Structure 1
Amino acid sequence: MNATGPAPALAAASAPRPRTAPDADSGRPSVTRRVLGILDAFSPERPVLSLSDISRRAGLPPATAHRLIAELTRWGALERDENGLYRIGLRLWEVAALAPRGQALREAAMPFLEDLYEATHENVQLAVLDGLEVVYIERIRARNAVHVFTRVGGRWPAHATGVGLALLAHADPELQERAIAGPLRRFTSKTIGSGGELRRVLAEVRRTGVAISDGQVELIALSVAAPVYGPDDTVVAAVSIVVPSHSSDARALIPAVRASARGISRALGAPRALRRPPSATART
């Protein structure tokens, strides 16, 4: 979910990852590792960096950083402004758009996300699972709704978010066990903090078909999420709505979130979404 100035725990959630790892043979980082270290130096908190900043954050000698940055700038992965500062270039956005869990999924989902937003005028999100984290690939932010910490391209620990719980509940058992084994980072007093609690919550998500995350990232926000299925009937994403926790009934939001997830699943060709739901069959 979101904010303007992250608290220490929130800042830790988006803290830079370990920098360049050494090459197994030489003990020195490979060229690829160095280039990735340069790109990893940028973050939402530091979108614009000087050459010396990049060199320091990537753990590279200034001369090496200068040479690699110049090559990345010529290719378009980085852009240099009139003050000599660098930012991520549009060429990387073009490449990222080719990711199968990116542009195609977003295009299929957008009509249903927009419908969910129009029906509720609350924050609507779409995310995918990457290891033990979720990556948000689309978001519609309501102007006067509760603010959230998420952004497109941002990551959060899966156990602390509605979309993350919906995704983890249907992930490979091995990945679930990794999550349950922890450690589980806590952001509020309501954040899931033990493996036993997480195991119970994931079982409940599988039983009900929805995930409810109440006050796990911020005490003021509540998220209701549902899984999205792909062409092979496996869960490929999750959709959620984020509302104020003090004035919202999670149960009232479940039908709308489920309908949105089912619509996206149908657009992706999920067989389970193409079948008529049991309730419709009973009425017939």
Structure 2
Amino acid sequence: MALRHEPPTTPSHSVRDALRVLEAVARRPGGVTDTDLARHTGIAPERLTALLRMLRREGYAERTADGAHVTGEALTRLTSAGQREQALRDKVQHTLDRLRDSVGAAVYLSRYLDGEISVTQYADSPATPKVNEWVDFRSSAHATAIGKSLLTQLDHAGRRDHLARHRMARLTSRTITSDRLLLSRLEGQPPTVPVLDLQEYAVGTVCAAVPVTAGSSVGCLALSLPVEHVHRLRRAAEALNRNAAPVLLSMAI
């Protein structure tokens, strides 16, 4: 499976810069100042300040008493061979919980693994319930924001292969069932614009998804809202996109 070549999204830019900062911090176990970090990474001071704020919030970096930065406990856990899998799951779950509360919607992390869609983690609550999966997400990529976001990250052959294996059933009156129309829309989807599902999967529910791709791993972050909150969908999706960097960073470390 080949991936679609995409220009980088804002979260991808943030992650690349954050990794450069973490590498510079790790090379100086005794601590490194903001001035030295700016010189070693070439990142502008204002941008560096925002990145360091995120890294401290996520536990990847810590500020010492004299104002220098050292690696944080979360980074140590993620880079430990014996703890990585559970540490990554815990870190992502904490981030999803925080996103759920900040955007006021159920939030999902999905991956495209071995040719199939998998919702690997999610965060919901009584006030922000998750979608009722009345049709298996693996067979309804054509109708969900999750599925369409993942398919946009594949190349044309990869999309055709997936659709050939999963019949495009009509789930609501809004569901696209023409592979030609769907492929055309996927091809024209800007990579930095959230993919929307406006009652295409389930009547009464609207969703949005943004890509989170690390290396050859295809993934996305998504959220769902009851249709009466559709007026919040685009703003919530934009907030999800702005805050996708911590999830992507966890996957990339």
Give the aligned length.
Answer: 167
Taking the TM superposition and a 5 Å limit, the aligned residue runs for 1:17-166 are 106-130=89-113, 133-145=116-128, 147-150=130-133, 155-166=138-149
For the residues of structure 1 that align with 2:175 and 2:87, how far apart are their CA atoms? 32
From the superposition, tell whether residues 201 and 252 of structure 1 become closer, same or farther in structure 2 (CA, over 3 Å).
same
Task: Answer yes or no: is the 8 Å Cα contact 1:169–1:205 preserved in 2.
Answer: yes
1:243 has 2:203 as partner: no
For the residues of structure 2 that align with 1:106 and 1:186, how far apart are their CA atoms? 34
Aligned twin of 1:170: 153
From the superposition, tell whether residues 229 and 219 of structure 1 become closer, same or farther in structure 2 (CA, over 3 Å).
same
For the residues of structure 1 that align with 2:203 and 2:112, how far apart are their CA atoms? 24
Aligned twin of 1:6: none
From the superposition, tell whether residues 163 and 121 of structure 1 become closer, same or farther in structure 2 (CA, over 3 Å).
same
Aligned twin of 2:56: none
Aligned twin of 1:202: 186
Flag structure 1 segments of 5+ consecutive residues without an equivalent: 1-101, 271-284
Match of 2:170 among 163, 180, 186: 186
From the superposition, tell whether residues 154 and 138 of structure 1 become closer, same or farther in structure 2 (CA, over 3 Å).
farther
Q: Deviations over 1:168-215 (max 9, x none)?
A: 100243221224556312211111211122113212434444211111
From the superposition, tell whether residues 235 and 246 of structure 1 become closer, same or farther in structure 2 (CA, over 3 Å).
farther
- The one-letter code sitting in structure 1 at the alignment partner of 2:252 is G
Task: Answer yes or no: is the 8 Å Cα contact 1:129–1:237 preserved in 2.
Answer: yes
For the residues of structure 2 that align with 1:105 and 1:204, how far apart are their CA atoms? 33
Taking the TM superposition and a 5 Å limit, the aligned residue runs for 1:264-279 are 264-269=247-252
Task: Answer yes or no: is the 8 Å Cα contact 2:93–2:123 preserved in 1.
Answer: no
For the residues of structure 1 that align with 2:204 and 2:150, how far apart are their CA atoms? 23
Task: Answer yes or no: is the 8 Å Cα contact 1:128–1:137 preserved in 2.
Answer: yes
For the residues of structure 2 that align with 1:109 and 1:135, how far apart are their CA atoms? 15
For the residues of structure 1 that align with 2:183 and 2:141, how far apart are their CA atoms? 13
For the residues of structure 1 that align with 2:87 and 2:195, how far apart are their CA atoms? 24
Flag structure 2 segments of 5+ consecutive residues without an equivalent: 1-84
Taking only aligned residues, the RMSD between alpha carbons, in angstroms, comes to 2.9
Match of 1:228 among 196, 204, 212: 212
Q: Which has the higher contact order (CA 8 A, sep 6+)?
A: 2
Structure label with greater radius of gyration: 1
- The one-letter code sitting in structure 2 at the alignment partner of 1:112 is T
Q: Deviations over 1:90-111 (max 9, x none)?
A: xxxxxxxxxxxx8675344223
SS at 2:197 equivalent: strand
From the superposition, tell whether residues 161 and 131 of structure 1 become closer, same or farther in structure 2 (CA, over 3 Å).
farther
SS at 1:183 equivalent: coil
- The one-letter code sitting in structure 1 at the alignment partner of 2:95 is F
- The one-letter code sitting in structure 2 at the alignment partner of 1:240 is A
Provide the identity percentage. Answer: 22
Task: Answer yes or no: is the 8 Å Cα contact 2:143–2:176 preserved in 1.
Answer: yes
Give the TM-score taking structure 1 as reference length: 0.51
Q: Deviations over 1:114-173 (max 9, x none)?
A: 12111133211111124664211112122133551249x974422221111111100243
Task: Answer yes or no: is the 8 Å Cα contact 1:128–1:136 preserved in 2.
Answer: yes
Taking the TM superposition and a 5 Å limit, the aligned residue runs for 1:250-261 are 250-261=233-244
From the superposition, tell whether residues 262 and 209 of structure 1 become closer, same or farther in structure 2 (CA, over 3 Å).
farther
